[in-house]
A and B are shown apart, each in its own frame.
Chain A
Amino acid sequence: GQNIDQPTEMTATEGAIVQINCTYQTSGFNGLFWYQQHAGEAPTFLSYNVLDGLEEKGRFSSFLSRSKGYSYLLLKELQMKDSASYLCAVDRPFKAAGNKLTFGGGTRVLVKP
């Protein structure tokens, strides 16, 4: 089976930093995505890591270690609007064409004033 684990909930204060960890064990790996999903809305793309290391994009950074089956999403200078669920998804080969995503359970982040 495919296992993708991330914490269920995290709480942080506005202006602070939060790190959301994701560990995975999957059959096949092409890369790892992070998505943000606000309640009642569809997910929006945040980052995609293929190679080991840190990818920085504004206040958000994502890290990948393929040998450890580990990734994290780092949110800096937290704002109230960052309260959302953050989904870790592994990109895996798919027989028919291209790849498909397997999602973790999501981490609900609550930002408090």
Chain B
Amino acid sequence: GAVVSQHPSWVICKSGTSVKIECRSLDFQATTMFWYRQFPKQSLMLMATSNEGSKATYEQGVEKDKFLINHASLTLSTLTVTSAHPEDSSFYICSARAVEGNQPQHFGDGTRLSIL
């Protein structure tokens, strides 16, 4: 069964809307979660690393005021795309990893965001 839950799966909304995406680790605690974006036929691009109880670490070129990340607990991180525009349309995927040992990152099912 899924170990990382991501919600919602699909979002279609008007330009200017803010959209919140949730990522939950189901069977383990994750002090660190990761947010990726993927455009068609391209690989995953890491946007930011979400750290429980502290500020997220953003990759170069990713606007932190545009993509707000909150990691309020050991099992939940949220990504809010603020004032979304058509160019923000993409596939957003979160992942989480258990703290113990050499564990793989498990991915959520992704959120397909379409801005009209």
Contact = CB atoms under 8 A, between A and B. Distances in A.
Contacts of B106: 45
Nearest to A31: B102
A88 to B, nearest CB: 10
A41 to B, nearest CB: 7
B109 interface: yes
Contacts of A105: 42-43
Interface stretch (A10-18, A19-27, A57-65, A95-103): A95-103
Interface residues of A, number: 27
Nearest to B6: A42
Contacts of B110: 41-42
Interface residues of B, number: 27
Nearest to A46: B104
B49 A42 contact: no
B44 A97 contact: no
Interface hub of B54, B102, B105 (most chain A Cβ within 10 A): B105
B62 to A, nearest CB: 14
B72 interface: no
Contact of B32 (A87, A98, A103): A98
Contact of B108 (A42, A102, A108): A42
B97 interface: yes
Interface string B18-41: 000000000000011010000001
Contacts of B97: 98-99
Interface string B38-79: 000111101001010010010000000000000000000000
Interface of A: 30-31, 33, 35, 40-45, 48, 50, 85, 87, 94, 96-106, 108
Interface of B: 6, 31-32, 34, 41-44, 46, 49, 51, 54, 57, 91, 93, 95, 97, 99, 102, 104-110, 112
* 3 closest A-B pairs by CB: A42-B107, A45-B104, A42-B110
